[in-house]
Amino acid sequence: MPIFDFAYEEPDVGYSKIRLHFNENLFLPEEYYREIMPSVEPQELRYYTDPNNKRLAEKIEIFHGLPQGSVVVTAGADEGLRLAMQLSVHIDGGLAIVEPTYGMAHVIARQVGLKPTVITYNSDLSLDIDRVIKSGVSSVYICSPNNPTAHLVKEVEELVARFSGLVILDSAYAEFAGLWTPKLYEYGNVIEIRTFSKAWGLAGARVGYIVAERKLAQSLRVLSPPHPISSFSAKVIENALEKGRPYVERSIQALSVVREWVLSKIKLEKYYGPVNFVTVRVTKAESIASRLESEGFVVRVLGGKPLCSSCIRFTLAPMAIMEKFIL
Ligand code: PMP
């Protein structure tokens, strides 16, 4: 039996505590969820969904005005990452991960058998593209806006143009930054990963998608399970695309007001940007997190990450919660 050293274990905190550790959108009203809640016919549960959830993929393409065949539906962005990294295994030649970043990128890379090369942002969070190129890898993972530093990676387009390998661009938080429509799919080497878990507030539905140039998208479809998401989730997303955008936009506006207030209150060194979380450097991250937990708030401790050691990250929540959290 193999023994793995990259296990990912998540404590089950349920709903009894205020969850500020997963960057869900906490600004959407219940009315939004009632509005998009689907009803399904027995046959939609009896039978498998259409292959590759193609109908939903087409609706996403139409929503964004993307070319036909450029969207691949996935079970959350995490599955999108898995497909992209599996493709990287097939391409062969190694994967670089630009750190500090989303912890699961490393875990998923290891799950598919890669041993990623780590490239670290400069201390001002700029990216040295030459280091990526010189590392000799054939794929690179980069997240923008980045989790946990919240910054928009300004070198992404230059990286895509100069790096001849595959760029796995994790845009899980893009909508918060006003980047609704993926733009880099025309480059044949970009896999953009998106999700309905963050700005769209639908983490429990487990739906994400990949946007890539058609042939690249088709390669990823080949690596995907034939029915990646349930008919129920597909309907939730169809309804959200049809009716949800005004709610999501209003929630992003409300969030940005709270973000300004929170930033004005926190005097510690912090990473922030156009997203729904803030990362703060503290002296004793673990003990602060457990004190917060005893007060009913769950936050993320970012132990051991380059540039982010001794940091905690928390999701921004409506003012009534933030007032209790910060004060
Ligand atoms: N990418 C990033 C940067 C994330 O922060 C997350 C969620 N924490 C994901 C991907 C995974 O999202 P999903 O729920 O769509 O699997």
Q: Tens digit of pLDDT for each residue in 242-281?
A: 999 999 999 999 999 999 999 999 999 999 999 999 999 9
The encoded tokens of residue 92 equal 């062969």
Nearest CA to ligand 1 atom 10: 77
Section 305-321 average pLDDT: 94
The set of long-range contacts for 30-36, using a CB threshold of 8 Å and a minimum separation of 24, is 31/247, 32/201, 32/244, 32/247, 32/248, 33/201, 35/239, 35/243, 35/244, 35/247, 36/236, 36/239, 36/240, 36/243, 36/244
Q: Which amino acid is at 256?
A: S
Closest CA to 44 of 295, 219, 233: 233
SS3 42: helix
Residue 167 phi/psi, 5-degree rounding, is -105, 115
* pLDDT above 80 for 321: yes
CB of 197 closer than 8 Å to CB of 24: yes
Given the CA of residue 77, which atom of ligand 1 is nearest to it? 15
CA of 172 to the centre of ligand 1 (A): 6
CA–CA gap between residue 204 and residue 202 (Å, rounded) = 5
* pLDDT the model gives residue 10: 81
CB of 194 closer than 8 Å to CB of 18: no
The per-residue pLDDT for range 153-200, each reduced to its tens digit, is 999 999 999 999 999 999 999 999 999 999 999 999 999 999 999 999
CA–CA gap between residue 21 and residue 11 (Å, rounded) = 11
pTM for this model (two decimals): 0.97
pLDDT tier at 6, thresholds 50, 70, 90: confident
Nearest CA to ligand 1 atom 7: 22
CA of 42 to the centre of ligand 1 (A): 31
CA of 83 to the centre of ligand 1 (A): 14
CA of 268 to the centre of ligand 1 (A): 26
Q: What percent of the chain has pLDDT over 70?
A: 100
Nearest CA to ligand 1 atom 12: 77
Q: Which of 104, 146, 275, 305 to mutate to test the pocket of ligand 1 (most atoms within 8 A of CB)?
A: 104
Ligand 1, residues at Cβ distance < 6 Å: 22-23, 76-78, 102, 143, 147, 170, 172, 195, 197, 203, 208
The DSSP element (H or E) to which 290 belongs, if any, is helix 285-294
* pLDDT above 80 for 304: no
Nearest CA to ligand 1 atom 6: 172
CA–CA gap between residue 92 and residue 115 (Å, rounded) = 12
Cα dist. 208→26, 72, 77, 216, 226 in Å?
Answer: 19, 9, 5, 17, 15
Q: Which of 195, 233, 237 to mutate to test the pocket of ligand 1 (most atoms within 8 A of CB)?
A: 195
CA of 43 to the centre of ligand 1 (A): 31
Nearest CA to ligand 1 atom 8: 22
CA of 57 to the centre of ligand 1 (A): 19
Q: Which of 25, 26, 73, 78 to mutate to test the pocket of ligand 1 (most atoms within 8 A of CB)?
A: 78
Q: Which of 197, 206, 277 to mutate to test the pocket of ligand 1 (most atoms within 8 A of CB)?
A: 197
Given the CA of residue 101, which atom of ligand 1 is nearest to it? 3
The per-residue pLDDT for range 188-200, each reduced to its tens digit, is 999 999 999 999 9
Q: Which residues contact 47 (CB under 8 A, 6 or more apart)?
A: none
Cα dist. 292→136, 279, 283, 326 in Å?
Answer: 43, 15, 14, 10
